[in-house]
Structure 1
Amino acid sequence: MSAAFETQALLRLMTWLSPAFPVGGFAYSSGLERAVHDRLVTDAVGLEAWLSTSVRHGMLWNDAVFVSLAAQVVEEQVKLAELAELGLALAGSAERHMETLSLGKAFLAAAEAWPASVFGLLPPDCPYPVAVGAVAAAHRIGAEQAIAAFLHAGVSQGVSAGIRLGVAGQQDGLRILSALETIAGEVAERAAAAGLDDLGSATVQADIASLRHERQNSRLFRS
C-alpha cells in the first residue's frame, strides 16, 4: 500500500469521524448525562474512569468489535444484515437503540459523498459501528486504524459531553484524551482480531444510567 494511499485513508477517517461530519453525535451522551445527575461522575477523574471503562468493558468495546466484524464481511450482504440486527438487539436501552440507529443512518447518508458498492449491501436500519466498519473496509482502510479512529471519536464525544455537563474543563478534557490514547490503541488492536464471542459488556451502572435517562425531564442530550 503506497504512502499516498495511506495518507488518503487517514484523511478520510479524520473527515468521517470528525465532530464536523454531519452525524449528530454532539446530541448524545450515552447515559453520561444521567450519571452526572446521579453523581456517579462528579469530576474529571470520574469522567476519565467512566470513559476508560466504556472503552475496555462497555459500549465502546462492543462498538469496536462491531466495526471489526463489519469490515470482515464487507462484501456479504446477508452477514452485514445479521450484524446490523445483532447490533441493534444489543442496545441496552431505547435511547441507546435510537442513538446508534440515528448515527448509523446519518453516517451512511453523509458518507455517500465517497461512492462505494457497500452502500447497496447495507440494510436500511444499520447501527453506527457496523456502518463505519463496512464503509472503512470498502475504502480499503485497515480495521485496526478504523477502530482506533472510532474509539478516539467516541472518547472525544464523551469528553465534550462531560465539559458541557460541567464535570471537567477544557484542560481536563485534553488530559483525559492524552491519558486514554494508549488504552484506545490497545483496545483497537484487540478488537481488530475479535469475533462474535468477544461481544459483551460489564458496565451495569452505565446501562442503568442510560435507562434512567429516558425519564429525565431536564436534559441537554438525547441519550
Structure 2
Amino acid sequence: MTDRDLLTLTQWLSPAFPLGAFAYSHALELAVSEGRVREATELQDWLAATLRFGAGRVDAALLAMTRQGAEAAEMAALAEALAGTRERWAETFEQGTAFMRTVAQMGGPEIPASALPVAVGVAARPLSLATRTVVSLYLHGFTSNLVSAGVRFVPLGQAAGQRVLAALHPVIAEVAEAALDTRAETLTTGSFAADLSSARHEDMDVRIFKT
C-alpha cells in the first residue's frame, strides 16, 4: 500500500468528490416521513440492515468482483438486474456516471458509464491497495452519506450522527470481508423494506431527496 494510492481512493470516496451523493437518501426519506426512523438507534438499525442485506452487500460484492478482475460489462449488467427499483438504479447509475466523468477529467482512465461500485472497481484496479481496504472505504462513504441524510432529516445532532457511524464500523468491516468471497451466481439481496420504500418514494407529494 502506498500513501499516494490511499489518498487517491480517499479523494474519490470523500463527500467533496462531485457525485451529488448528498441528493440521495436511499429511501430513508420515506422511512423517516412515516415514523419508522425517528431517532439514532432506529437509524443505526436501518443502516445496518441496508449494509448487511441490501445495497451495501450488493455494492460491496460488485466492487470486489470488479476489482478482482471480473468483466466490467457483466458486473454492470448484474448491478442493473439487482437494482430493486427505478430509483435505486438511477441512484447508482447517476453517481457512477459522475464518478467516471470526474476521474477522466482528472487524467484517469476512461471508464464506461455504469453503476457506481463497478466504476470504482475499474478505476481502483491499478491502486496498490488491498481489495478489502477499497471495499471498506467505499462502504464507509456510502454509510456516511446516509448518516448525513438522517442527521438532516430526522433530524439528529451531529454528535449523534457520528456515534451512529462509529457504531456501524464493525458492520462495514463484516460486509467488506464477506464480499471478498462472493460469486455472481450466489449474490442476492433481501432488504425488502428499503426496496418498498424506494418504490413508494417516487410518489411522495413533497420530497427533498431524489431517492
TM-score range normalised by the length of the shorter chain: over 0.9
Question: Where does residue 55 of structure 2 map in the other structure?
Answer: 59
The runs of 5 or more residues in structure 2 that have no matched partner are none
**Aligned counterparts of 1:208 and 1:98: Cα–Cα separation in 2:** 16
How many residues get paired?
210
Gaps of 5+ in 1: none
The Cα shift of 1:27 comes to: 0.5
Matched, 1:73 2:66: no
TM-score normalized by the length of structure 2:
0.94
Corresponding residue for residue 162 of structure 1: 150
State the shift of 1:115 in Å: 2.2
CA distance in 2, matches of 1:209, 1:44: 19
Residue 127 of structure 1: which of 115, 118, 121 is its match? 115
Deviation at 1:114, TM superposition (A): 4.3
Structure-2 residue corresponding to 1:111: 103
- State the identity %: 38
Contact kept, 8 Å, 1:41 with 1:167, in 2: the verdict is no
Q: Which amino acid aligns with 2:176?
A: A
CA distance in 1, matches of 2:83, 2:135: 19
Contact 1:151–1:184 (CA under 8 A) maintained in structure 2:
yes
Q: TM-score scaled to structure 1, two decimals?
A: 0.90
Partners in 2 of 1:146 and 1:198 — Cα distance? Answer: 21
Which of 12, 19, 22 is matched with 2:15 structurally? 19
Q: CA deviation at 1:73?
A: 2.0
Deviation at 1:39, TM superposition (A): 1.4
Letter in 2 for 1:109: R
Matches of 2:169 and 2:17, distance apart in 1: 22
The whole-number CA distance in structure 1 between the counterparts of 2:168 and 2:61 is 18
- State the match for 1:34 in structure 2: 30
Query: Residues of 1 paired with 2:46 and 2:5: CA distance?
Result: 30
Q: CA deviation at 1:100?
A: 0.7
List, as ranges, runs of 4+ consecutive aligned residues in structure 1 with deviation greater than 2 Å. 138-142
Deviation at 1:90, TM superposition (A): 1.4
